[in-house]
Structure 1
């Protein structure tokens, strides 16, 4: 006969497995109209509060290897100055654009268009990564839509990266939004190393802090072998945004003023492709993201400098995106 603690432990473990998915993914409890509005307003305030001027620290650390033949790489630390601006706010939809400000060899500011995050309230579907250069539409379960927001993250050229949905809530006195499990392609920091893994399976968190906000990621790095996916190593990423304006913020705002019409058109072209083709397929390169990312950013720089007018820039961008996404998206192997 097994000792009682073993029997009890096994029973509790089985019970936890049985109930935990339901507890983790239960619908938002019904609320009064007033409570719903208060929650919606609080969510919006937290999202809008991510806009501002920041000193950013990026901390990435592989921790637990899930296979005996893999050794975690050394932690990576970096940082910079980042401006975040609200470029769209229709109430139930908020779009935040990130712009990095760096200095060139002559100590002059140079602006790099960085990532973008779109927040949508009670979404019916999201554009998710499906492996091997493919993004497809995925329905949000109907019972999980009420009271929740999706966050879709786009790459520097406004091509898709990943999307998830979740609820803003308060736990232990701290407000946070946590995504469902999401797939995403390799970041350039990993892709250039030609690693054994080729995608991440992740949970994404955003939390306001007294001095700004944090973006926390729990990434399981996965590899495909013999038609199946297996975990390679765990990675934890903590990006800290601290309010700070002791750098050339004006350079970022000037860049955006000059290029926002071009980038609005680029966003629209990607949206057209995703709607028309049921998703997006585009090849990627380790050092640039998509195969057209470098040129789309160069066009933005040419618009900023006055070398290209909006009409010519948008025409070239449309041709680049249309040709690069000619192949229909497909769902690759997923867990």
Structure 2
């Protein structure tokens, strides 16, 4: 009898510890919400090209205000939408930016494989136990990259790490065509001033039937410094006004992802990328919006 009682007690302690850890994880993730002065820093560090005329990418530094708003906060999912606020503070320009969804013990993945193709992969539950998947989406809510890992809370630090494949960032694909995959080493760390997105990336050449070739390495260091939420009021107001529209877009994409099959997207329809179809003030019915997104899904 004593053995059974001890076992039950240990089980209860284990459950409470897991719940406490999960709560810590969720609190860390939600600390990425708010208004931030952001500095984006990228520098190519090493190159392995055999071409003597190879030119590395120029260092890239840019700044702006970014509002990170909580879209969903449920038992096993947290969704955060990022909105850029740039230009004249009195009359700023608002740009819908990336979105990050965090899902607890997620098993369904869309892994980027180059050429606008994402391979659907299902992992075993034991491989993602107590882990969080970060799913990152483009400005039009189409897929970008995702990966799973454990949040770590130790020595006063809270951070999450993962390495995964991704499309080229805008700063690169508009200028480079000599590689087709970014292998992203991501580290999100919560700090006393906000948070940091620390990246160690590889520029990969991937061809069918061949081993990947590393063309170059890149360091990214994006600093999010917390400021008063009032500084991002224009972005907040814009998102409140536009959220219904983008909820419909998210719902359509969820329907696409729920098919649980490989996904290939076409780059342009009617000579325009998807975001240009969706970034319009013209009122669109849900059916029209769905048809536009579906037109980019390669059959």
TM-score, normalised with respect to structure 2:
0.88
| In structure 2, distance between residues paired with 1:202 and 1:143 | 24
The DSSP-based 3-state class of the residue aligned with 1:131 is coil
Q: Which of 120, 124, 134 does residue 103 from structure 2 map onto? A: 120
| In structure 2, distance between residues paired with 1:246 and 1:137 | 38
The DSSP-based 3-state class of the residue aligned with 2:63 is strand
Deviation track 1:234-259 (CA, whole Å, cap 9, x = no partner) reads 01111110012387422111111111
Contact 1:216 1:239 in 2 (8 A): yes
Contact 1:262 1:313 in 2 (8 A): no
The DSSP-based 3-state class of the residue aligned with 1:62 is strand
Q: Which residue of 1 aligns with 2:94?
A: 111
Contact 2:35 2:231 in 1 (8 A): no
Contact 2:113 2:181 in 1 (8 A): no
| In structure 2, distance between residues paired with 1:108 and 1:247 | 14
Matched, 1:40 2:12: no
Q: Which runs of structure 2 are paired with 1:240-251 in the superposition (5 Å)? A: 240-245=223-228, 248-251=231-234
Q: For residues 265 and 218 of structure 1, do their structure 2 counterparts lie closer, same or farther at Cα, with a shift above 3 Å needed?
A: same
Aligned length: 282
- Using the TM superposition, give the Cα deviation of residue 316 of structure 1 relative to its aligned residue in structure 2, in angstroms: 2.8
Which sections of structure 1, spanning at least 5 residues, go unmatched? Answer: 1-30, 329-335
Q: Which of 288, 291, 299 does residue 319 from structure 1 map onto? A: 291
Q: Which of 71, 81, 84 does residue 100 from structure 1 map onto? A: 84
The DSSP-based 3-state class of the residue aligned with 1:258 is helix
Deviation track 1:17-39 (CA, whole Å, cap 9, x = no partner) reads xxxxxxxxxxxxxx811211111
| In structure 2, distance between residues paired with 1:209 and 1:293 | 33
Deviation track 1:113-172 (CA, whole Å, cap 9, x = no partner) reads 100000000112222212211123212343222111000000000000000000001355
Q: Which runs of structure 2 are paired with 1:1-150 in the superposition (5 Å)? A: 32-69=14-51, 70-103=54-87, 108-150=91-133
Q: Which of 201, 213, 216 does residue 233 from structure 1 map onto? A: 216
Q: Which runs of structure 2 are paired with 1:121-270 in the superposition (5 Å)? A: 121-179=104-162, 181-224=163-206, 227-228=209-210, 229-245=212-228, 248-270=231-253
Q: For residues 246 and 41 of structure 1, do their structure 2 counterparts lie closer, same or farther at Cα, with a shift above 3 Å needed?
A: closer
The DSSP-based 3-state class of the residue aligned with 2:206 is strand
- Using the TM superposition, give the Cα deviation of residue 322 of structure 1 relative to its aligned residue in structure 2, in angstroms: 1.0
- Using the TM superposition, give the Cα deviation of residue 226 of structure 1 relative to its aligned residue in structure 2, in angstroms: 7.3
- Using the TM superposition, give the Cα deviation of residue 107 of structure 1 relative to its aligned residue in structure 2, in angstroms: 5.3
Contact 1:65 1:71 in 2 (8 A): no
The DSSP-based 3-state class of the residue aligned with 1:59 is strand
Matched, 1:292 2:274: yes
- Using the TM superposition, give the Cα deviation of residue 296 of structure 1 relative to its aligned residue in structure 2, in angstroms: 0.9
Q: For residues 90 and 157 of structure 1, do their structure 2 counterparts lie closer, same or farther at Cα, with a shift above 3 Å needed?
A: same
